[in-house]
Chain A
Amino acid sequence: SQQGEEDPQALSIQEGENATMNCSYKTSINNLQWYRQNSGRGLVHLILIRSNEREKHSGRLRVTLDTSKKSSSLLITASRAADTASYFCATDAGAETSGSRLTFGEGTQLTVNP
């Protein structure tokens, strides 16, 4: 099965509300990354959190990482209709010389209603 598993699979909220997505993984990691994908497009990198970090912020995004529970969460505050997209977590669990080979979860489809 996938290294990263996200929940919920789908999330529908109203504009202005906060959206929280969760990701669980199975093995030790170097870092965990969150990506966004608009329909029919490529992925866009949002934020990277290293295994020795617990929380990271970028604009309206807040990511937490709990390595003891092998889980991460992505919080989007004050959501906008333009935040509607699929969100994926990806884990880097490779050796130091193996390149940033990532394993992706199946994603959360976020819909923000105006």
Chain B
Amino acid sequence: DGGITQSPKYLFRKEGQNVTLSCEQNLNHDAMYWYRQDPGQGLRLIYYSQIVNDFQKGDIAEGYSVSREKKESFPLTVTSAQKNPTAFYLCASSIFPIRVGRHQPQHFGDGTRLSIL
């Protein structure tokens, strides 16, 4: 079955440490997204990528970095510069609208919960 796999499910970060969250999709989607969700809140966009080797900052990119070397993969690194990283991180993908038209839903993984040690 096609879908999005996020790993690990739980992650703990020590002070001053960078950690990387994995996101892999086998839906053949062009666009991929990273969101942060704080307790009782909606989703905020961190970074997104429409094609391989290209990505754009979202609304809260400071303290995060991404890469898009393969269509299937969009890892997110939470750097030590992110002073409040404790949150639920969600990865999503969608078909790029130029291919099939504007109105496409996003498909989500099951998230990674990051906490500070």
Contacts and interface: CB of A to CB of B under 8 A. Distances in A.
A13 interface: no
Interface stretch (B13-21, B60-68, B70-78, B92-100): B92-100
B107 to A, nearest CB: 7
A101 B48 CA distance: 8
A35 B35 CA distance: 14
A89 to B, nearest CB: 9
Nearest to A102: B106
Report the interface size class on chain A: 20 to 34
B105 interface: yes
A103 to B, nearest CB: 8
Contacts of A100: 31, 94, 97, 102-106
A33 B103 CA distance: 10
Nearest to A43: B108
B50 A99 contact: yes
Contact of B105 (A48, A50, A88, A103): A48
B85 interface: no
A50 B103 contact: yes
Given A104-B42, A105-B42, A107-B42, A97 B105 contact: no
A57 interface: no
A42 B50 contact: no
Given A42-B111, A99-B50, A101-B48, A48 B90 contact: no
Nearest to B104: A100
Contacts of A98: 50
Contact of A99 (B48, B90, B107, B108): B48
Given A42-B90, A42-B110, A100-B94, A31 B50 contact: no
A45 B102 contact: no
Interface string A39-53: 011111100101000
B97 A2 contact: no
Given A96-B102, A100-B102, A101-B48, A40 B42 contact: no
B52 interface: no
13 contacts: A30-B103, A33-B106, A40-B113, A42-B109, A42-B110, A44-B108, A92-B102, A100-B103, A101-B48, A101-B58, A104-B42, A104-B44, A105-B42
